[in-house]
Amino acid sequence: VLMYLPIAVVVLYSFNANAGRYPSAFTGFSLQYYKGLLNDTKGLLAALKNSLILAGISCGISMVIGTLGAVGMSARKFRLQGAIETLALLPIMVPEIILGMAFLAVFTFAGLRFGMLTLVLAHVTFCTPYVFIIVKGRLAGMDPSLIEASRDLGASPQRAFFTVTLPLILPAVLSGVLLAFAMSLDDMVISFFVTGPETTTLPVYIFGKLKTNVPPSINALCSLMLGATLAVVALSRLVRRGAEKDR
């Protein structure tokens, strides 16, 4: 109830005819907020577009860095390996407010213009550990003799990675990317410190509106995003069920 009742209320009030800031009763069915959302191309939709672009770029870079880092760390043992792995996970252990202020200081010192570049750099920093830790956990449970067998059969290290290692760790890579995508799309604190006037993300936009008046169309946007998420989950279950039947 605590998890799903607030979500149900958001969906319900997205169809409410009452245009007040804090509606206390459902006064009638209306699609006015959804119509307003489609016309708000410079507000909510623009912020959502920035968030999706940012999450996509950040997760793509994080996927490469996190996967290669996990594979490299698992390939061999060396001194200070534990300390280096701890440093790799540090961005997700440091409070976001501190990390955001640190990025603000560094980017200001480097003279970088605040915008999509600074957002990508910041998001890659805290998204990469999610991919790294999930992929490394998968590699820890993988039989190393599989890679050794491919090498004995003449495969180069690169071919062994793409034909043996990568297919086995691909579910973990995708899990890490999806988690990193969710964290990037949801981030407000760090993005607030490093965003620019033309690259406002959706969480920062909503937070800024809390100071004045929250557009009722936010409920409509949340409902559409929830519907898209449920559709992806349902499609994933259908694909998995089909794959199990083929086996």
Structure confidence by residue, pLDDT tens digits, 194-217: 998 888 998 998 888 777 666 777
**Mean pLDDT of the 42-55 span:** 88
**Quick one: residue 154, left, alpha or beta (phi over 0 = left, psi -120 to 50 = alpha)?**
left
Cα–Cα distance measured from residue 239 to residue 219, given in angstroms and rounded to the nearest whole number: 30
**pLDDT score of 23 more than 70:** no
Percentage of the chain modeled with pLDDT above 90: 37
Question: What is the distance between the alpha carbons of residues 73 and 82, in angstroms, rounded to a whole number?
Answer: 10
Choose among 185, 219, 231: nearest CA to 204.
185
For residue 2, give both structure tokens.
């605590």
Q: Rounded to the nearest 10 degrees, what angle do helices 81-89 and 44-75 cross at? A: 170
Question: Residue 37 in contact with residue 220, Cβ under 8 Å?
Answer: yes
pTM above 0.95, yes or no: no
Q: Predicted confidence band at 12 (pLDDT cuts at 50, 70, 90)?
A: confident
pLDDT digits (tens, 9 = 90+) for 129-158: 999 999 999 998 888 888 888 888 888 888
Round the average pLDDT of the chain to a whole number and report it: 86
**Alpha-carbon dihedral of residues 63, 64, 70, 76, nearest 10 degrees?**
170
Q: Is the pLDDT confidence value at 68 over 90? A: yes
**Band of the pLDDT at 228, cuts 50, 70, 90?**
confident
Rounded average pLDDT over 84-97: 89
Chain length of the chain: 247
| Amino acid identity at 215 | P
SS3 29: strand
Share of residues in the chain with pLDDT > 70 (%): 93
* Helices H / strands E in the chain, number of each: 12, 0
Residue 140: which of 75, 201, 195 has the closest Cα?
75
- Average pLDDT (68-90) is 86
At 9 the pLDDT is: 85
Burial 191-219 (b: 16+ CB within 10 A, else e): bbbbbeeebbbbbbbbeeeeeeeebbbbb
| Average pLDDT value for residue range 53-65 | 95
Please calculate the CA angle 135-141-145 and round it to the nearest 5 degrees: 110
Displacement of CA 243 from its chain's centroid (Å): 27
Tokens of 207: 């937070």
* 15: pLDDT strictly greater than 70: yes
**Would you state the pLDDT for residue 242?**
74
- Is the per-residue pLDDT at 247 higher than 90? no
Distance CA 126, CA 180 (A): 8
Looking at residue 22, its pLDDT comes to 55
Residue 141 CA to residue 75 CA, distance in Å, equals: 13
Q: Stretch 68-74: mean pLDDT, rounded?
A: 90
pLDDT reading at 169 higher than 60: yes
